[in-house]
């Protein structure tokens, strides 16, 4: 088991019950989306609104679904963050998403099966939200 992961405490369970099933990171991102929606940056958003069928009976439930102003859909997967040690890919102290290989694989498969939608993994970094887009259009270099 990953030593950075821990079993949920009673306080964690109480928080989720009070915030519609969201953990603290998801609740913070929901607040971020609420402020953006108030500024009319998109039409609406919701938490875990649908589960997308993948292959071989697997499914993927994005944390947030956002209906953009042009009626396209963006799915957000919210992850915690961790500080890295020095590696070839990341300099010492970089903030990267705390994410399993299986979670990355699901979002990549979903992006390939639903090319009309955007799939974004997001994580907190010093008061901002970092993003990595997995949509097919992003991989081709277009938006």
- Per-residue model confidence as pLDDT tens digits over 12-31: 666 666 666 788 899 999 99
Q: For Cα atoms 138, 141, 143, give the angle at the middle one, nearest 5 degrees.
A: 55
pTM attached to this predicted model: 0.78
| Residues of the chain where predicted confidence (pLDDT) is lower than 70 | 1-8, 11-20, 84-94, 136-143
Query: Is residue 16 a contact partner of residue 22, using CB atoms and an 8 Å limit?
Result: yes
Let me know how long the chain is.
143
């Amino acid at each position: 088991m990953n030593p950075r992961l821990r079993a949920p405490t009673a306080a964690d369970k109480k928080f989720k019950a009070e915030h519609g099933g969201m953990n603290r990171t998801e609740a913070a991102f929901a607040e971020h989306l609420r402020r953006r929606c108030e500024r009319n940056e998109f039409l609406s958003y919701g938490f875990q609104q649908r589960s997308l069928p993948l292959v071989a009976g697997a499914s993927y439930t994005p944390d947030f679904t956002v209906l953009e102003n042009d009626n396209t859909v963006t799915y957000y997967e919210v992850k915690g963050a961790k500080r890295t040690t020095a590696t070839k890919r990341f300099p010492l102290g970089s903030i990267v998403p705390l994410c399993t290989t299986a979670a990355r694989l699901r979002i990549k498969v979903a992006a390939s099966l639903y090319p009309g939608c955007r799939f974004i993994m997001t994580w907190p970094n010093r008061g901002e939200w970092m993003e990595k887009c997995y949509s097919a259009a992003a991989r081709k270099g277009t938006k």
